[in-house]
Amino acid sequence: MSLLTNLFGKKSSSANVARDRLKLVLAHERASNALPYMEDMKAEIMEVIKKYTQVKDIHISSQNNQNIDVLEMEIILK
């Protein structure tokens, strides 16, 4: 940054725009790609539950808070 832009406030440079766009798109992609094994795991859990009762659907969501990763599972029975 030059002295003038430092003095009179930052103009929005293309690098700043790139950074913000990347952060946004990656926040979204990370959430949806975080667990590549999710589909397989879902199917397997479904099979296990079917042995005991009737199941309609399973929703698994992942959350991370600081350094704890949590998987939340919701099993909807028929």
Partner 1 sequence: MGIVITVTSGKGGVGKSTTLANLAVGMADEGKKVVAVDFDIGLRNLDMLLGLENRIVYNVIDVMEGKCNLTQALINDKHSKNLYFLPASQTSDKNVLNKEKVKTLLDTLKKEFDIILLDSPAGIEGGFEHAVAFADRALIISTPDVSSVRDADRVIGIIDAKSEKAKAGEEVLKHVIINRIKPELVERGDMLNTEDVLNILALPLIGVVPDCEKVISSTNLGEPIIRDKNVQSGEAYRRISKRILGEDVEYLDLSIKKGFFKRIFS
Angle at 31 between CA 26 and CA 50, to 5 degrees: 155
Q: Which residues bind partner 1 (CB under 8 A)?
A: 1-4, 11, 13-16, 18-19, 21-23, 25-26, 29-30, 33-34, 36-37
Tokens of 33: 């790609």
> Smallest distance from the beta carbon of 72 to partner 1, in angstroms?
20
Tokens of 29: 């992609």
> Smallest distance from the beta carbon of 3 to partner 1, in angstroms?
5
* Closer of 15 and 70 to partner 1 (Cβ): 15
Cross-strand bridge partners of residue 69: 64
* Closer of 3 and 48 to partner 1 (Cβ): 3
**CA–CA distance, 44 with 41 (Å, rounded to integer):** 5
